[in-house]
Chains A and B, each alone.
Chain A
């Protein structure tokens, strides 16, 4: 088994990506896109012409936008970044860098554990020769599809603005132009080691997404999927996001648990209980519940409450609130909390959700009780809607609109208001337009996720007068939780990323070996079992045993077909056609006793005489058979040769030898 880290990821939206080779199959774990790299592009410039005019005063007539941007860049030295340093072009997307080093057609399986880990999938599935089986949980698949469709539709705005590109490479990717970029941007384009230019891709189309979804095999939590009879894959809720999971991959000799980023957090709208099985561990399934920490979930609830109270404050002050958080679980909770806060403050402020997928997303979240945490499931059993937004939409407190320019939205628009709008990078989607509207208003509030480089993200909107709240939410297991988790799982081997070496120190009381891996490196994980299990589909009594003289051992020859099913070997004995023909041993051990052989032969009415040369051991010699025909038995230390012109006699002699020797 080998594990190669393709990318160690970055934050909630860019999960790590690995390739695992197990039982000869290549498994790609996750296929994300680094959306944070989008910040090098300028959002669609709504006030572009004013920018253009300013620049025109300095330069003579410019032919194209790109030529113009180049000129700006030439002027600058290493001054602080400015909005005009950004790339004014239809953005490309940065995929996992080292994935390109692998031949896509040789990947056997793709395993996705969260909607974020799925966003790069169409890049892969549109490659000719891609034939891997993709396993995703049903909820992840649906949410991932919605997110991809949203991305495509938000990207359309760029396309409408810049028009279609004619040829393969956009102008901004030209070496010369890239050299001119400020170092901060260049680092994003090329990566730290300068190798990542090749990972930039133009966005997939809606058709690519549809095609990709057609290739996905969806599973439920706890459902076993068997690949090629050899590997059994099973998803367990990880609690990170709706449908997000950890995977166990069981082979005939290997059990592997992929725990990308366990979130043990009970109040997110997800079940967060199960997962188990370390590498090489037994098959039993235990569930971790003890790790559910009340403090941690309280902390998260407090953060949400803080966001809400800040929002209420700025609404009271007459400002609007723009929330660019895209984590579905968080948004759903925020919606509930926010309406409670507004209710108690007796403010009548509309909440808008502006997203092309908002309507579908919200109705989807209300029909998936199986994927939610116990507390939400309880709502199903008592006949209430799973999330409060169902009622809030009915009551007209939440308004759903597909885009900022929807006629109904424009006619109902009311400020101050609270708006949930994608995208968290502040480069795509309705958030861009609203930010332009409010960025100068110091009463307004922008709520950002942590992990976003706020300076960079807000660059095109500068100067920004509005208040900014950046809030970090749990996006994985805390490193101090790893140790207790391992204690519960009791794995035999643990593979941890290099950067956790310091943080997770393994006490000597824990009985497992730890391996560390780092970027781009391939780690070979030693095998623990030296044999596989096989089940023989016959009753023990039906086997014809041959007892051995020593050790109370008995042996029997097995013949049949070895099949693999559900990661287990099954041996189906061949139909008893062979039993009709006389079974003789094919393999003999030791050496025959010549005296016994002679008696045996004479019992069979075969007579012969023994000829032994002096100095040789007792069991070596030649027997001359005279009757019924002439024959010769040459017995050596490790071999015997039977010579006879008669088939029957030869057979008889063989039988005699066989009967006095051990064999199988």
Chain B
């Protein structure tokens, strides 16, 4: 069964909108449903017709999963459900469900306001769409249907952002959405279990960037803001209502308290303040430090923040203003910008990413003094520009860390810029040796995950696997050259427990495969065991030695004693020679090494005594009768050769 990932319009090699459809095990999941803010025509939405030609999305998709509330991940959702008519389940985390309508409404207003174009969807559509959403908690395993399991993991990017794990049968994938591997002011770092994954689909906005410490960046930002207000300037921070605004506000609030500043901080519309009430309730989704403030003073209860009134635009005196939307793509923030940009006293602080084509992007590129809004309107930009990479996306190191941590079989990069993605792809393939893809829009990546054989296992098999397999061997100093105990005659016992679990897999037509223990197989098949053994009666020469001489008196007891002494000497010899091979057991009358069994043969006519060639009559001969089974074939022959070359009198 293959996993197919169709990178629908958006995600592939372009930051702006995300939408990936993954098919696996007969299930089809749409991850994110983003909108591109820069376009005004059909290019704004993902090309949904690729999911289903007949536009029957309910049967084409098992579910839709939204990772977080940014418009490039959720913007097209209301359009998809209400205009295109998707009615299936939609999953997102609690904060995303709570905050998404604000974001969607915000977007809708900007679009209508900006170009006066007709609405693609209405406020009513948004409300109806949100009714279909099922909220999930972090780490909660949700059974979408009988086969499909999904689970959200903390992603840290914005409040409620999650990475989603989806599993059908043996196949499992993770779609990260946007995530952040370092904690920020109010959110923790992304967290995920070490999952066994066939595929990881990760964002790669900052595929090649490695960011420095946050604290330096925060200090710079505060310094710039403080300098500006100290000299009587106004600070404009164009930002989206949710996320960055709250983080920077916590930062400023803290700074204001410490330095006892009285300069007012404003939030543009009621929107941001309303967002704060959500943040207060959802404080358990923030970082540990912020979370703990809930009882005494909720961290999102800002004391220095006030609502901004349009009449204050031209009011004299310094202030700090958070205005929506971010990136200066229109709306109120652009209106304020037009007003404030011509003054050198003022400051525009741009937090985070600005999409190509936005005014924010133009300002970030520097050196720009005049901005043409359209043919007739131009703005002289004399104010200072402060740019900070506060963007809560992970950087290249974070992506590499996550990929390394999860070690999936395959990686797909999305949500990045083409050349950067290519370079990251190279790194993942060369450094981590994981297959990596960076598909373009509307391209499908197909991977073939390994499949597991499922079988039922018998009790005896399971028990045999749990049994330890101890091996004892004597260690000597040569094994440990670095030990400083060379002078001492020092040896120790080594205990090995090398388990090789063995069983037999039985497949029968139209029956489930079964793993059984070797002993059970015969019973299962109704067959009798046939043992195949090797036997050899080996002759060992003995020269005129004292022991044999004394043996003239061949009484029974003497013979027995002699046998024992022979075995003892053999034991000593073998223990010396076979240090590694096996565990030699001495039983008086016989020795046992694994299945190899040796004893003195006193029979005159042993059937296993194969006499080939002339016998050397001049030397006394002792026979050792050996038997062994095939598993120890090599060992057995080695022992026999040791025995035959062994001069018993030498010891």
A645 lies within 8 A of B532 (CB): no
Please, which residues of chain A bring their CB within 8 A of the CB of B98?
Answer: 369, 380-381, 383
User: Is A634's CB within 8 Å of the partner chain B?
Assistant: yes
User: Is B139's CB within 8 Å of the partner chain A?
Assistant: yes
Task: Please name the residue on chain A nearest to B453 by beta carbon.
Answer: A536
User: Is B59's CB within 8 Å of the partner chain A?
Assistant: no
Please, which residues of chain A bring their CB within 8 A of the CB of B281?
Answer: 366-367, 369, 380, 385-386
B454 lies within 8 A of A638 (CB): no
B505 lies within 8 A of A364 (CB): no
B 124-157 binary contact with A (CB < 8 Å = 1; else 0): 0000001000010111111100100000000000
A643 lies within 8 A of B453 (CB): no
CB distance from A617 to the nearest CB of B (A): 13
A 498-539 binary contact with B (CB < 8 Å = 1; else 0): 000000000000000000000000000000001111111111
B284 lies within 8 A of A222 (CB): no
Given the known interface contacts A381-B98, A539-B450, the answer about A640 and B500 at a Cβ–Cβ threshold of 8 Å is no
A367 lies within 8 A of B534 (CB): no
A558 lies within 8 A of B612 (CB): no
- Among the listed A380, A543, A642, A654, which residue makes an inter-chain contact with B94, where contact means beta carbons less than 8 Å apart? A380
Given the known interface contacts A589-B528, A641-B535, the answer about A569 and B462 at a Cβ–Cβ threshold of 8 Å is yes
User: Is B503's CB within 8 Å of the partner chain A?
Assistant: yes
B residues lining the A interface (CB < 8 Å): 94, 97-98, 101, 130, 135, 137-143, 146, 170, 274, 277-278, 280-284, 294-295, 298, 450-459, 462, 465, 499-509, 514-515, 518, 521-522, 525, 527-537, 607-608, 610-612, 627, 629-631, 633, 637
Please, which residues of chain B bring their CB within 8 A of the CB of A539?
Answer: 450-451, 453
Q: Which of A370, A535, A539 has the most CB of B within 10 A?
A: A370
- Among the listed A531, A634, A638, A647, which residue makes an inter-chain contact with B637, where contact means beta carbons less than 8 Å apart? A647
Please, which residues of chain B bring their CB within 8 A of the CB of A631?
Answer: 610
Given the known interface contacts A221-B140, A367-B283, A534-B515, the answer about A559 and B501 at a Cβ–Cβ threshold of 8 Å is yes
Please, which residues of chain B bring their CB within 8 A of the CB of A537?
Answer: 450, 452
CB distance from A22 to the nearest CB of B (A): 16
B637 lies within 8 A of A560 (CB): no
Given the known interface contacts A367-B280, A539-B451, A651-B633, the answer about A221 and B532 at a Cβ–Cβ threshold of 8 Å is no
A555 lies within 8 A of B532 (CB): no
User: Is A609's CB within 8 Å of the partner chain B?
Assistant: no
- Measured CA separation A381–B138 after assembly (Å): 17
User: Is A220's CB within 8 Å of the partner chain B?
Assistant: yes
User: Is A285's CB within 8 Å of the partner chain B?
Assistant: yes
- Measured CA separation A574–B458 after assembly (Å): 20
User: Is A162's CB within 8 Å of the partner chain B?
Assistant: no
CB distance from A446 to the nearest CB of B (A): 30
CB distance from B335 to the nearest CB of A (A): 26
Query: 9 tightest A-B contacts by CB?
Result: A222-B140, A589-B527, A534-B457, A223-B139, A639-B531, A536-B453, A562-B465, A531-B456, A360-B295
B452 lies within 8 A of A535 (CB): yes
Please, which residues of chain B bring their CB within 8 A of the CB of A381?
Answer: 97-98, 101, 130
User: Is A584's CB within 8 Å of the partner chain B?
Assistant: yes
User: Is A662's CB within 8 Å of the partner chain B?
Assistant: yes
- Measured CA separation A386–B281 after assembly (Å): 8
CB distance from B295 to the nearest CB of A (A): 4
Q: Which of A38-46, A67-75, A544-552 forms part of the interface with chain B? A: A544-552
A 344-380 binary contact with B (CB < 8 Å = 1; else 0): 0000000000000001100110111110000001001
What would 16 more interface pairs be, CB under 8 Å, given A284-B146, A553-B525, A640-B533? A223-B137, A364-B295, A369-B282, A383-B98, A533-B455, A535-B452, A543-B505, A548-B525, A553-B507, A555-B507, A557-B504, A562-B465, A569-B457, A642-B533, A645-B610, A651-B633
Please, which residues of chain B bring their CB within 8 A of the CB of A562?
Answer: 462, 465, 501
Q: Which of A611-664 contact B (CB under 8 A)?
A: 629-632, 634, 638-645, 647, 650-651, 654, 657-658, 661-662, 664
- Among the listed B451, B454, B502, B633, which residue makes an inter-chain contact with A557, where contact means beta carbons less than 8 Å apart? B502
- Measured CA separation A645–B504 after assembly (Å): 33
B502 lies within 8 A of A532 (CB): no
Task: Please name the residue on chain B nearest to A276 by beta carbon.
Answer: B143
- Among the listed B135, B295, B527, B630, which residue makes an inter-chain contact with A584, where contact means beta carbons less than 8 Å apart? B630
Please, which residues of chain A bring their CB within 8 A of the CB of B143?
Answer: 284-285
Please, which residues of chain B bring their CB within 8 A of the CB of A640?
Answer: 530-533
Please, which residues of chain A bring their CB within 8 A of the CB of B135?
Answer: 370, 377
CB distance from A229 to the nearest CB of B (A): 13
CB distance from B499 to the nearest CB of A (A): 7
User: Is A60's CB within 8 Å of the partner chain B?
Assistant: no
Task: Please name the residue on chain A nearest to B455 by beta carbon.
Answer: A534
A641 lies within 8 A of B534 (CB): yes
- Measured CA separation A556–B528 after assembly (Å): 18
B536 lies within 8 A of A644 (CB): yes
Given the known interface contacts A562-B501, A640-B533, the answer about A222 and B137 at a Cβ–Cβ threshold of 8 Å is yes
- Measured CA separation A607–B612 after assembly (Å): 16
A220 lies within 8 A of B530 (CB): no
Please, which residues of chain A bring their CB within 8 A of the CB of B458?
Answer: 531
Please, which residues of chain A bring their CB within 8 A of the CB of B284?
Answer: 367-368, 370
- Measured CA separation A556–B508 after assembly (Å): 12
Task: Please name the residue on chain A nearest to B627 by beta carbon.
Answer: A641
Given the known interface contacts A571-B515, A592-B530, A645-B610, the answer about A532 and B462 at a Cβ–Cβ threshold of 8 Å is yes
- Measured CA separation A570–B462 after assembly (Å): 11
A559 lies within 8 A of B502 (CB): yes
CB distance from B468 to the nearest CB of A (A): 13
CB distance from A363 to the nearest CB of B (A): 5
User: Is A587's CB within 8 Å of the partner chain B?
Assistant: yes
Please, which residues of chain B bring their CB within 8 A of the CB of A359?
Answer: 295
- Among the listed B142, B506, B637, which residue makes an inter-chain contact with A222, where contact means beta carbons less than 8 Å apart? B142
B504 lies within 8 A of A558 (CB): yes
Task: Please name the residue on chain B nearest to A547 by beta carbon.
Answer: B507
A560 lies within 8 A of B500 (CB): yes
A639 lies within 8 A of B533 (CB): yes
User: Is A177's CB within 8 Å of the partner chain B?
Assistant: no
B503 lies within 8 A of A558 (CB): yes
CB distance from B293 to the nearest CB of A (A): 10
Given the known interface contacts A222-B140, A369-B281, the answer about A630 and B610 at a Cβ–Cβ threshold of 8 Å is yes
A545 lies within 8 A of B507 (CB): yes
Given the known interface contacts A221-B140, A369-B281, A552-B509, the answer about A588 and B532 at a Cβ–Cβ threshold of 8 Å is yes
- Measured CA separation A219–B139 after assembly (Å): 9
Please, which residues of chain A bring their CB within 8 A of the CB of B607?
Answer: 632, 634, 643
Q: Which of B135, B146, B507, B627 has the most CB of A within 10 A?
A: B507
Q: Which of A366, A383, A630 has the most CB of B within 10 A?
A: A383
A641 lies within 8 A of B140 (CB): no
- Measured CA separation A382–B521 after assembly (Å): 65
Task: Please name the residue on chain A nearest to B534 by beta carbon.
Answer: A642
> Can you name 22 A-B residue pairings with CB atoms under 8 Å?
A223-B137, A377-B94, A383-B274, A531-B514, A532-B459, A533-B457, A534-B456, A535-B452, A535-B454, A536-B452, A539-B453, A543-B453, A553-B508, A554-B507, A557-B504, A561-B499, A569-B457, A586-B518, A587-B522, A642-B534, A642-B535, A664-B521
Given the known interface contacts A221-B140, A222-B141, the answer about A367 and B282 at a Cβ–Cβ threshold of 8 Å is yes
Please, which residues of chain B bring their CB within 8 A of the CB of A443?
Answer: none
User: Is A337's CB within 8 Å of the partner chain B?
Assistant: no
B506 lies within 8 A of A555 (CB): yes
Please, which residues of chain B bring their CB within 8 A of the CB of A219?
Answer: 139
Q: Which of B506, B515, B627 has the most CB of A within 10 A?
A: B515
Task: Please name the residue on chain B nearest to A587 by beta carbon.
Answer: B518
Please, which residues of chain A bring their CB within 8 A of the CB of B283?
Answer: 367
- Measured CA separation A364–B611 after assembly (Å): 92
Task: Please name the residue on chain B nearest to A385 by beta carbon.
Answer: B281
B532 lies within 8 A of A632 (CB): no
Please, which residues of chain A bring their CB within 8 A of the CB of B509?
Answer: 551-553
A533 lies within 8 A of B295 (CB): no
User: Is A591's CB within 8 Å of the partner chain B?
Assistant: yes
Given the known interface contacts A571-B501, A645-B610, the answer about A589 and B529 at a Cβ–Cβ threshold of 8 Å is yes
- Measured CA separation A259–B136 after assembly (Å): 23
A532 lies within 8 A of B456 (CB): yes
